[in-house]
Structure 1
Amino acid sequence: MPAAQLGSLFGPDSQFHRFFNDPRWALAMVRATVLEAAHPQIGAALIDNSTFVAHPWRRLRNTLVSLQRMFGADDDARQREAARLNRLHTRLSGTDARNRPYDAMDPQVRAWVVATLFESAVTMCRLSGQPLEQSAMEKLYAEFQAFLAALGDQAGHLPPTLREFWQYYDHTVQTELENTQALRIILYKLFDHLPAPPLLDGLPTVWAAGRALAGPVIGTITVASLPEPFRRRAGLPEVPGAQTLMQSAYMAAGLARFLPEGWIRTEELTDLLYLSADSDDPRAATITALRGRMKRAGALFRLITPFPVQPGPDGGAAPGRSAEEFFDAVLDQTGDGFLDWPDLAAMARELSSRLDLDEPEETRLYNAYAEWWRELQAALDIDGDGRISREEYAAAVPSLAGPALIRVAEVLFEVTDTDGNQFIDADEYRALFRTAFRRTVADADERYSRSAFVQDFLSFMSGRRRSSAYDPLLAGA
């Protein structure tokens, strides 16, 4: 597809852009993710490599940023994002529990991801009582075809016409989707154990109360919205009243169309979820006052509900943490209970995404993490199974800081120091940590030196010290 034709399908006049700030899109995204996870190859890749269990809010934010770049009006940004996604997918391959291969660069797999986004957008309109007209549906389908073409995939991986798409979609649902482990985790574990976003971190009682009510509802709505042939074949439960609840939720979300334009902006809501009390954002003062009220509400909940109270960062937690706590919060990025290469690759991926790295800086960072993984494996993999358990890590030397970890710190400093002046200034600091300088890390000239950066990074990664800068970067949900 020519570049000029691609450009005409993106930007503020696109059909997709109209959906991006639509509350119904949140329900559609969850539904699309479940349909993706039901594909054997995608489900296996999620289980082995994704941080969606341990860091779901971070993954959500990265997905939204990626979609904005791909569907935005800036063609250069779209090309850079497409190149980044292709590099990311190239690194995701392996075999599942049944020894079946998976490859994130498989064009049919990539086509199914795009297909779930398109079909879920169409379904959300239908379920909310506002079905798309045929012309709008065809325009939306052309936009998602252009999305796939922007990634460099050749035509033919998605059917050329909308009529043929529905045949392809029904065939895939009936013959290829499975009740995968990733699907079960999303439906029955993720919503029940969803960690609090940064905005509500430190308010465990309030969050537990809301999650206990909302989690089962979201799971029930999502299951009810899935194609009936797949629900039956996968043995997903039929909850009485689920269809009514699902349609009510979509229709209620659809009422947002009557709100004044601009009242709901996905980007601002996402930023708000990531706003911490000590942020330099002007909204932080209001959030701090709100958190105070929510804490008082939490105290009331503790009197009348059985939700367990867990210590949060505002609850006087000690500056350090045990080896087991550090393992779970920082090292085990995929949440599977072990430390292996996908966990460190997830760190490299998150840092590269935050800094918006191109080649060769991205590969330098990945290579540094790969060398650290080899160092950790040689030192801590006692039973030789190719991964490090929580017990192996705790029993060894948790404060291990060898040459490879030092190299990770140095490379991270170098790719953050974009002007090469051997200091991280305010803008560079904000790009990495998404907040302004902290007095604990900035010197009198408001510059972060290489030596100070490396020392702080090593103290966090090997000494298990809590850090107002690094905890949100690598341990935040």
Structure 2
Amino acid sequence: MESLFGPDSQFHRFFNDPRWGLAVIRATVLEAAHPQIGAALADNSTFVAHPWRRLRNTLVSLQRMFGADDAVRQREAARLNRLHARLNGADARHRPYDAMDPEVRAWVVATLFESSVTMCRLSGQPLDQTTMERLYAEFQAFLGALGDQAGQLPATLPEFWQYYDRMVEEKLENTEALRIILYKLFDHLPAPPLLDGLPTVWAAGRALAGPVIGQITVASLPEPFRRRAGLPEIPGAQTLMQGAYMAAGLARFLPEGWIRTETLTDLMALTSDSDDPRYATVTAVRDRMKQAGAFIRLVTPFPAQREPADDGPTATATTGTSTGTSTTGGSRRSADEFFTEVLDQTGDGFLDWPDLAAMARELSSRLDLDEPQETRLYNAYADWWRELQSALDTDGDGRVSRAEYTAAAPTLAGPALIRVAEVLFDVTDKDGNQTIDAAEYRALFRTAFTRTVPTAASAYTRSAFIADFLTFMSARHRSTPYDPLLADA
């Protein structure tokens, strides 16, 4: 029997299928309609402020879980379980949510499976019964790999469809998270790093594509839920939706290298300091797009778009020696800008624990930390949150507003933030030699070591690393390596 994971799996064939992008959006909306998942997303997720980072992390996780290497899968399952164990609380109606709830986890997997089946049906290529059963077995195995007991998903496919219809009709709600995804996320989607220097071009494309993607997604949702949730549907939306799925299906006939999910996400994540050889080609394309953007500005009255600060080589501090260097240089950002771009990771207008937990989660994911190191980093961020809360929460509501932060205008690094910097250095320094080499640097920043650390020796010392982190976090200097890590979308 073929393995349920790895390159022979049905999921692996779907992963690089252009239609699957539409299916994932649809599945995410159905997940967000579950009251527990919707509450967890609204309280903890970075999908509003940092959607591209969230997308990339999700795709990497799915690749690990469905890959052929069982050790990698077990490690990723353990990481996901630790992540989910930290996501619990209560929604606006005081109903508890827990990301480790077996029903919740089963629904997430159910939406991915059902949306994969639906994408094939809507594009005119429905799965045969044998293939559908094989795909269902793979998703059951995925849930089992997470450690969930058998039975959270129905054992057979006919039973699954009964379960799915019951969940749609009885459990799903028009949650805040669902409304944000459908009516705010696409209309306000920030540019990915690749297009960050082309605000006018991005604004023009988003203005056209955002509403269309929203309507395509709404039209693809189960009709009973659309009716009960009162989701608006424009005339012709069903035709538009089916046409989009059909067009995406035709894209499968493009050369394989053009539509590989991993290749596309890597390209979208390229930044100006990347050492990826593809960046030269991307630079040429960006120059052409800038010319197009200039033309668009002449003929289209789009609102003014913020141009990115110039943090290129001339803005990078070069005060280092053979034992270390500063990489933080560049222009300062205001307290209000720093709050919005860096501290408010969830995009809800406030600073509280989920925002700092999101930072710890992103750093842990990039460095692929094991449990002891991950917990150590989370604990350091928790101490910093208590320090910030004590100093800045003047009205005692348990969170820090933008006004409270900007009024205090903190510029000095407290003991807890210094501890965060020390722990981050320790977990980045994998070999424990008290310097960060090129490989360790790229694991954290995914940027070119020699461009951002112009030093004779290929080493980044503990003191220089901590100084740069504190300068970024407390003095609010823009930074070539740290902005893509914590500030960019």
| TM-score w.r.t. length of structure 2 | 0.95
The 1-side partners of 2:202 and 2:431 are apart by: 42
SS of residue paired to 1:94: strand
Q: What does residue range 266-281 of structure 1 map to in structure 2 within 5 Å?
A: 266-281=261-276
The 1-side partners of 2:404 and 2:258 are apart by: 51
* Cα distance change of structure 1 residues 315 and 296 upon mapping to structure 2, 3 Å threshold: farther
Residue in structure 1 matched with residue 362 of structure 2 by the alignment: 350
Tell me if 1:378 matches 2:390.
Answer: yes
Is contact 2:113-2:136 (8 Å) kept?
yes
Residue in structure 2 matched with residue 121 of structure 1 by the alignment: 116
The 1-side partners of 2:482 and 2:261 are apart by: 26
The 2-side partners of 1:207 and 1:17 are apart by: 31
Q: What does residue range 7-406 of structure 1 map to in structure 2 within 5 Å?
A: 8-313=3-308, 319-406=331-418
AA aligned opposite 1:286: T
What are the Cα deviations for residues 338-366 of structure 1, in whole angstroms up to 9, with x where unaligned? Answer: 00000000000000000000110000000
After TM superposition, give the deviation of residue 440 of structure 1 in Å: 4.5
What are the Cα deviations for residues 249-278 of structure 1, in whole angstroms up to 9, with x where unaligned? Answer: 000111123234443100010000001123
The 2-side partners of 1:206 and 1:467 are apart by: 25
Task: Tell me the percent identity.
Answer: 82
The 1-side partners of 2:451 and 2:280 are apart by: 18
After TM superposition, give the deviation of residue 60 of structure 1 in Å: 0.1
AA aligned opposite 2:304: V
Is contact 1:202-1:314 (8 Å) kept?
no
* Cα distance change of structure 1 residues 154 and 457 upon mapping to structure 2, 3 Å threshold: same
What are the Cα deviations for residues 350-408 of structure 1, in whole angstroms up to 9, with x where unaligned? Answer: 00000000110000000000000000011111111100000100111321310100000
Is contact 1:277-1:285 (8 Å) kept?
no
Is contact 2:273-2:447 (8 Å) kept?
no
Is contact 2:335-2:409 (8 Å) kept?
no
What are the Cα deviations for residues 156-194 of structure 1, in whole angstroms up to 9, with x where unaligned? Answer: 100000000000000000000000000000000000000
SS of residue paired to 2:124: coil
Is contact 1:277-1:287 (8 Å) kept?
no
Q: CA RMSD in A?
A: 1.3
SS of residue paired to 1:360: helix
* Cα distance change of structure 1 residues 373 and 364 upon mapping to structure 2, 3 Å threshold: same
AA aligned opposite 1:259: L
What are the Cα deviations for residues 75-129 of structure 1, in whole angstroms up to 9, with x where unaligned? Answer: 0000000000000000000000000000000000000000000000000000000
Residue in structure 1 matched with residue 327 of structure 2 by the alignment: none
* Ranges in structure 1 where 5+ consecutive residues have no aligned partner: none
The 2-side partners of 1:100 and 1:400 are apart by: 39
After TM superposition, give the deviation of residue 71 of structure 1 in Å: 0.2
AA aligned opposite 2:4: L
The 2-side partners of 1:100 and 1:442 are apart by: 53
AA aligned opposite 1:466: R
The 2-side partners of 1:394 and 1:438 are apart by: 35
SS of residue paired to 1:102: strand
The 1-side partners of 2:450 and 2:475 are apart by: 20
SS of residue paired to 2:189: coil
Is contact 1:129-1:251 (8 Å) kept?
yes
The 1-side partners of 2:271 and 2:373 are apart by: 29
Quick one: which of 407, 411, 418 aligns to 2:423? 411
After TM superposition, give the deviation of residue 438 of structure 1 in Å: 4.7
Is contact 1:41-1:109 (8 Å) kept?
yes
The 1-side partners of 2:277 and 2:451 are apart by: 18
What is the aligned residue count? 472
Residue in structure 1 matched with residue 480 of structure 2 by the alignment: 468
* Cα distance change of structure 1 residues 455 and 238 upon mapping to structure 2, 3 Å threshold: same
The 2-side partners of 1:360 and 1:468 are apart by: 29
After TM superposition, give the deviation of residue 13 of structure 1 in Å: 0.3
The 2-side partners of 1:11 and 1:235 are apart by: 41
The 2-side partners of 1:466 and 1:84 are apart by: 31
* Cα distance change of structure 1 residues 466 and 252 upon mapping to structure 2, 3 Å threshold: same
